[in-house]
Amino acid sequence: MFYREAGQFKSSYVADQELFPVKQDRLGIFLIIGFSFIVIPLIANDYWLQAILIPFLIFSLAALGLNLLTGYAGQLSLGTGGFMAVGAYSCYKLVTVFPETNVILLILLSGFISAGVGLIFGIPSLRIKGFYLAVATLAAQFFFEWLFGRVKWFYNYNDSGAIEVQVRKVFDIAVTGPVATTQARYMVVLCIVTVLALIAVNIVRGRIGRAWMAIRDMDIAAELIGIRPLTTKLIAFAISSYYAGVAGALYVFTYLGSAEVEVFDINISFEILFMIIIGGLGSISGAFFGAAFIVLIPILITNLPLILGIPINTATVEHFNFMILGALIVLFLIFEPHGLAKIWSILREKLRVWPFPY
């Protein structure tokens, strides 16, 4: 009834090429962005921001990056954790070398280092495909875990072996370090994620995104119609690693506060892969849906027995957590292999003709 695009005529090319061509979509996006920028910082308490919203946004960003690579360009990667670690550690080094520079700028810059590294590890993708490539990207994961754990220069010869985030201010408001309020950190994350997500929407509908999809669907055919496989795949690896790197930097600087290399172990790579599979391969909104799902499920499983008043010890909860997550993933794959984004698009189609479907 309300979700109709009838009567919305496009009279110019500019109007036709808008990011969100349907008026209601545009309105909805503005509402969501406005809500998360203005209302949430006012009403949410520290627990919500710290335990749910900040990790959700950071994981969305990482999932978005992986979705560009795996969902759009078709290159399966298991090295996301490694690239996040590169982002986090290079940001840490940049912050210590340039203490006066705006930390947000440095977080964004550290993504470029990660992108460069991603470029190098993307080179085998020209010759190796499918699962062979996935295993090859695991090399990145294990190599960086080793490198940042062993080479002391990366954590400034700390005795603890961990990287500690110092207090940094932007416009006289502390945004990183122990004194920063959760609201300030939330706003930093939200700004970066919003901007990068909008850029991602633009990339995938442009020339680069179309080239990626052509490569994904069949790389030989794409090569025949004049798409260069090497450059296209390398661009995918670079951009994806950029997103992962920024997400890694944010993860340490705005969420954890201090971190050892173990936080970027293989499990985080798998979690992010789960996010894009559950959210939907090859869709921007899917990354957000998937991240929300994976962040929320453990919290739900932990809190549900408490809410229902069932006494249960924490070790059992931990085991159930694994079991339920595993079972949910299998069930999801069986019933909706295209993920939450597909469910959303089905709902949307239904909504268009509601309440008169015939």
Question: Which residues make up the interface to other proteins (CB under 8 A)?
Answer: 76, 124, 127-132, 135-136, 138-139, 142-143, 145-146, 150-151, 218, 220-221, 224, 266, 270, 273-274, 277, 281, 315-316, 318-330, 333-334, 337
CA distances from 63 to 32, 242, 267, 274 (A): 19, 12, 14, 9
- For residue 168, the minimal CB distance to other proteins (Å) is 31
How do strand 168-170 and strand 163-164 relate by DSSP bridges? unpaired
Torsion, Cα of 79, 86, 108, 27 (10° steps): 20
- For residue 134, the minimal CB distance to other proteins (Å) is 8
The burial class, CB within 10 Å (0-12 / 13-18 / 19+), for 74 is: buried
Residue (129 or 210) nearer to other proteins, CB: 129
- For residue 348, the minimal CB distance to other proteins (Å) is 23
Residue (197 or 294) nearer to other proteins, CB: 294
How do strand 258-259 and strand 163-164 relate by DSSP bridges? antiparallel
- For residue 131, the minimal CB distance to other proteins (Å) is 5
Cβ atoms within 10 A of the Cβ of 159, count?
A: 7
Judge if the upstream peptide bond of residue 355 is cis by omega within 30 degrees of 0. yes
**Taking the chain, what is the end-to-end CA distance rounded to the nearest angstrom?**
13
Location of structure tokens 């790197």: 245
**Residue 273: half-sphere exposure toward Cβ, Cα within 13 Å:** 16
Residue (191 or 333) nearer to other proteins, CB: 333
Residue (85 or 196) nearer to other proteins, CB: 85
Residue (246 or 268) nearer to other proteins, CB: 268
Q: Find the radius of gyration of the CA atoms of the chain.
A: 21
Residue (148 or 242) nearer to other proteins, CB: 148
- For residue 219, the minimal CB distance to other proteins (Å) is 8
Of 286, 278, 283, residue with least CA distance to 327? 278
Helix or strand (DSSP H, E) at 259: strand 258-259
Of 239, 143, 185, residue with least CA distance to 58? 185
- For residue 42, the minimal CB distance to other proteins (Å) is 38
- For residue 130, the minimal CB distance to other proteins (Å) is 7
- For residue 220, the minimal CB distance to other proteins (Å) is 5
Residue (57 or 136) nearer to other proteins, CB: 136
Residue (173 or 218) nearer to other proteins, CB: 218
